[in-house]
Structures are given as structure tokens and as C-alpha cells.
Amino acid sequence: MARTIETAGVVGLGTMGSGIAEVLARSGIRVIGVEVDAAAVERARGHVEQSTARALTGGKLDEDDRAALLARITYTTSLTDLADADLVIEAVPESLGLKAEVFAQLDKIVGPDVVLASNTSSLSVTEVGVHTSRPGKVVGMHFFNPAPVLKLVEIVRTVVTEPDVIADVTGFAERLGKTPVVIGDRAGFIANALLFGYLNHAVRMFEQRYATREDLDAAMRLGCGYPMGPLALLDLIGLDTAYEILESMYRQSRNRLHAPAPLLKQMITAGLLGRKSGRGFYTYE
Ligand code: CAA
């Protein structure tokens, strides 16, 4: 029998985690969001409020539904508050050590049949899962930024993920109004494996003064019909996140396409992380 998911935990409420919390709450799921400290909780709350305000302005949500959505999310700094969760989605930064630690702790807190999902973009779900006593119930659930808007969820199946877990998580993604695709545990899964070589190439072109940032972006928007140019998209993803994804994919594939462009590292060191820090390839208000 399929698992009933009414309450879900989301661990890590950065750009992706807070977007995922919003998506779940919007579909009527009670969400317990976990962050490291009170300041991070406030940042996450602000993120969800801002995003739902945008949905309101865009006519995607009305005032009452927005209030109900916000009321479905509770925030905490303690993983132990997830004891009654029916599913947990982890969205902490892309560090295998950190994810392994979170999964090992969650394994001791939630019920034995509860599925633990990782929103990892590029790390191995298998490697995360082995830090639990239930690798068969560990799966990837990879959302795209901005999670409330983009329809895709990649469901990542390891060699030991149980078939009913895949079925339940796929059904859950559909309940969220998303389109799931199922993929094996390969570096970058489907979308990032195809996307990040292109983004990295755009950084190299910019670095070599091949064209201005505006012209590089305009070429892909206006010539290829992409909603955003590659440099604007990197600012949206976050340069630090993009760097981690590229590095992880490069480590796994050794494909030079994914060797991070040096300019990315320099910009990160200088604090230019994209939209979230106010400046990346472009400057934001
Ligand atoms: N809930 C529901 N709808 C929302 C919303 C929310 N919280 N916030 C905004 N929207 C709606 C708006 O109402 C608007 O709807 P209409 O088009 O019907 O008017 C729509 O979403 C777009 O919003 P905006 O008008 O504010 O913005 P836009 O038209 O400039 O589009 C964009 C912005 C959606 C980001 C678009 O440019 C886009 O799709 N860009 C590409 C993003 C992309 O490629 N992401 C993948 C990155 S890779 C990744 O995420 C993987 C990883 O592992 C890092």
C-alpha cells in the first residue's frame, strides 16, 4: 500500500529548500522546515513570504490561499522535531560529509518506513544513503530553481532503492503538480549533466572577452528561445552552487567540459555569488 504523506520535513531552507517547502505547503502538506539557527530560519521565512507575494502579484495565488500556505509551514532548528514526519527532503549545501551526517541523524529520528530524499544536484545518492540503516528507502528528489515555478522533479533511483519507494515518491511529485522523471544515480542526473557544460562554456567565453555578458545572454535568449541567458541563469542558481555542481561532476566524470572556469572561483572568493549576494555577473537591487 502506498505511503500516506501528510507531514513532510525539509532540512536546509536555502534557495532550494525554502522553494521546496513552499511547493509542499501549497499542495496542502504540513511542512516542518529545519535550519541551523534563528537567523537562517528568518531568512527562510522571508524567502517564502517574498516568493508567495510574487505569486500573488502574478495572479497564481489569492490572499486566503497564501495565508493558508504560510500557516502550514513551521520552522525549527532541531532535527528531532521531525520524529513524526512521513517523508523528509534534505536540501543542505552540496557537501557529502554534511549530507551524510544529516542522513545518519535522520535515520535515528524518523520511523523505520519513512523515505529519506535528497535534493542533491550532483552528489551520489548512493553514497548519502549508505550512512543510514535504510539505503533502500533513500532516493533523490531533485527540484529546479525556482522550485515553485519549474515543473520538473528528477527522481533518482540507486541500485538498492526499493521499487515501492520510487512509486510513492513519483506519485508524491505528481501530487505536488510536478512532472517526475526517473533516472539512475549518475553525475548531474539528466538536466544538470546537459546544462552545466553549457553554462561553464559561457563563463569561459566571457572570461576570454569573446562577447559582453549582455550579448552572450541575448544570443541564447533571442536566438535559441531560452528564458534566460547563461550568465543570468548562473546568477539565479548561485555561483557557489554552480561551482560545487561543476566540481562534483568533474570529479565523477573527468570530462573537461565540467572543469569549473577559473573566473567562477575568483568571483566566489570576491563574494560575488549572484542574486543572493546582490551581485554576480550582474548587479541586483
Ligand atoms: N509560485 C507560483 N508561481 C510563481 C511564483 C510562485 N512562488 N513566483 C513566480 N511565479 C510565476 C509568476 O506569476 C509568473 O507567471 P506567468 O508567467 O503566468 O506570468 C511566472 O512564475 C514567472 O515569474 P516572473 O514573471 O516573476 O519571472 P519571469 O517571467 O522573468 O521568469 C523564470 C523567471 C521562471 C526564472 C524564467 O526566467 C526561467 O524559467 N528561467 C530558467 C530557469 C532555469 O533554467 N532553472 C534551472 C536552473 S538549474 C537547477 O535549478 C538545478 C540545480 O541543481 C541548481
pLDDT in tens, 109-142: 999 999 999 999 989 999 999 999 999 999 999 9
pLDDT for position 246:
95
Q: Is 193 in the pocket of ligand 1 (CB under 6 A)?
A: no
- Distance between Cα 146 and ligand 1 center (Å): 5
Q: Whose CA is nearest to atom 25 of ligand 1?
A: 58
Q: Residue 142 catalytic?
A: yes
Q: In what order do the strands lie in the sheet with 7-11?
A: 73-76, 30-34, 7-11, 87-90, 115-118, 138-143, 152-157, 179-184
Mean pLDDT for 192-221 is 97
Q: What is the mean pLDDT of residues 198-210?
A: 98
Residue spans of alpha helices (H) in the chain = 15-26, 38-57, 63-71, 96-109, 125-129, 163-175, 191-207, 213-224, 230-237, 239-253, 262-269
pLDDT value of position 253:
85
Task: Give the pLDDT of residue 94.
Answer: 87
The CA–CA distances, whole Å, from 77 to 32, 59, 99 equal 10, 33, 16
Whether 58 is in the pocket of ligand 1, judged by its Cβ within 6 Å, is yes
Q: What is the pLDDT of residue 285?
A: 83
CATH code of 192-277, in short, is 1.10.1040.10
Nearest-atom number in ligand 1 for the CA of 238 is 54
Using the mean position of ligand 1's atoms as its centre, give its distance from the Cα of residue 151 in Å.
Answer: 10
Cα of 29 vs centre of ligand 1, distance in Å, is: 22
Say if ligand 1 is within 6 A of residue 15 CB. no
How much is the pLDDT for 236?
96
Ligand 1 pocket residue status of 227, Cβ below 6 Å: yes
Q: How far is the CA of 19 from the centre of ligand 1 (A)?
A: 11
Instruction: Name the residue with the closest Cα to ligand 1, atom 35.
Output: 146
Q: What confidence tier does 252 reach under pLDDT thresholds 50, 70, 90?
A: confident
pLDDT at site 122: 84
Q: pTM of the predicted model, to two decimals? A: 0.95
Mean pLDDT, residues 211-217 taken together: 98
Return the residue whose CA atom lies nearest to atom 30 of ligand 1.
Answer: 227
Q: Which three cell numbers stand for residue 128?
A: 548519502
- How is domain 7-184 classified at the CATH fold level? Rossmann fold (3.40.50)
Each residue of 21-50: pLDDT tens digit? 999 999 999 999 999 999 999 999 999 999
Could you tell me the residue ranges of all domains in the chain? Answer: 7-184, 192-277
With bands split at pLDDT 50, 70 and 90, how would you rate the model's confidence at 77? very high
Distance of CA 55 to the CA centre of its chain: 19
**Paired residues of 156 in beta bridges:** 140, 183
